[in-house]
Each structure stands twice: as C-alpha cells, then as structure tokens.
Amino acid sequence: MFVRATALAFILLTAAFGTASAQGTAYLRPDQADLTRFLAPAPTRDSQTTQEDVRILLDLQAVRTPETIARANADVDRVLTRFSDAVGTDLSTARAPRANAFVDKAAREASVIVQNAKAHWGRLRPFLAFPDIHLVVPKEDTGSYPSGHATWGMMTAILLANMVPEKAVALYERGAAFGFSRLIGGVHYPSDVEAGRLTGTALAAIMMNDAAFRTDLAAAAEEVRGLLGLAPLASVPAPAATSPAPEPVAAK
C-alpha cells in the first residue's frame, strides 16, 4: 500500500532523530519524532487509497464472527497481558511489574507523538465518514491516522521480542493482529493500521538509543525470562541463518 513507499524515508529519519536523550529519564521526547516528516499524508476521503480501505472494511464486516468481534473488543485495552499467549506466560502486573512499568512508560511517551500526528491530519474515522461501516467496538472520536493501537501493538511486539528473541515470530504476529482487530472493529482504515505499524517500529528504534531505556529493557527482560525459565539474555546465541548466503556475482 501507499505507506510502504515511505519506508526508506522512515529509516533515514529514524537515524536522524535517534539521538539519545540528554536530559531526564524520558525514553522519547516529542521533538525527536515528528511523524509528519516520515509518514505519507493521511489519505483524503475521495482518494483511491480510502476507496480501497473502505472496500476492505466492508469485506471484513461481512465475514466477522462473534469470536473476531470478541477479540477486537478485548484488544481495545492496551495492556501487556494481551501478549501473554504469544510470550507463553502470564504478563500481569502482579507477575511482571517491571515489564509492565517499562512498556507503559514507553507507550505513554509514544502516545504523545501519535496524538500530535492525529491532530495534524484530522482524518475522520471510517464509521464517521462512511455510514455503511458499523462499529462493534467502543466509539472513538480522535483522528484516525495513524492508528494508536497499531502503533502500540507493533512497538510492544518489538520490545518483547528484544526481551525474548526465541518468541519473536509469535510476538510480531500478535503485534500485527492487534492492528487487525481495529479493522474488524470498524474503527480504523487499513492505511491507518499500516502507518501505525511503521510508527511503532520507528519509535521503538529511536528509544533504543536512550541509555535509560536500555537499562530498563534489560531489567524487564530479566524478569520476563525468569518467568519463562529461560537463561539470561546475554547467553542466548544469535539466530542461525535460515538460508545460504547468495553466490557472489562475477564482475563483467
């Protein structure tokens, strides 16, 4: 989709914005990531992208089930326990207080940046712009682009995958599913969700440059790995290559 065309710009701007915070203990400051500089503008109501978005939403609306609706409603809550199944252990605050505090702090700081972008573009939610799209999750009146839930889902998947790389595939799948729930609910367009996934990736990459973030990530990893009975992260070998390196091309 159209957002993918911004991937190179996103990588370059992440590098440019990714200077570690020199003041306080914030992982991420609003001035470190202006989403209007690396996301494509929100699609207009009459654009081809929005037309395709609506077609997809209507198709999903026609096939959603009680199970997918229930999951979409459960995914309204941006809490770490939504990733418990993917990690393989209960991630409630009672069992994983450090991990929850860490993810909540990162999420609060990321949310400020996302809300600024939503206000800048002011894209109407699909159920407000197109009467044929019916909500099955609670109504939200903030801007639609980018999706804050998709941002949170992808960012949280990245943070957890850095704690438990053995579970990376399941975690990224769960992070993507978090955004998909917003489509089932009728509360976001597909282009909102894709932009949110890019945003979550960018913001996680920027935070990785902050020393306080890395310290807290290590503490959270120790806690989660302890719950799983896994060895300390430093002793985990890098994943083996899944395919042979390509043969060198002979010079002509």
CATH code for the domain in which residue 174 is found: 1.20.144.10
For the chain, give the percent of residues with pLDDT over 70.
83
Task: Scan for tokens 């089930």, then name that residue.
Answer: 65
**Separation CA 22–CA 234 (nearest Å):** 27
Quick check: is 99 in a domain?
yes
**Separation CA 220–CA 96 (nearest Å):** 8
Grade residue 237 by pLDDT with cuts at 50, 70 and 90: low
- Model confidence pLDDT, tens digit, residues 13-64: 444 444 443 344 899 999 889 999 989 999 999 999 999 999 999 999 999 9
pTM for the full model?
0.85
Which are the contacts of 73, defined by CB distance < 8 A and separation ≥ 6?
136, 137, 138, 185
Quick check: is 41 in a domain?
no
Cβ atoms within 10 Å of 103's Cβ, excluding its own = 25
**Separation CA 75–CA 185 (nearest Å):** 10
Distances (CA, A) of 56 to 69, 106, 228: 16, 31, 39
Report DSSP state, residue 60.
H
Quick check: is 33 in a domain?
no
Quick check: is 237 in a domain?
no
Quick check: is 44 in a domain?
no
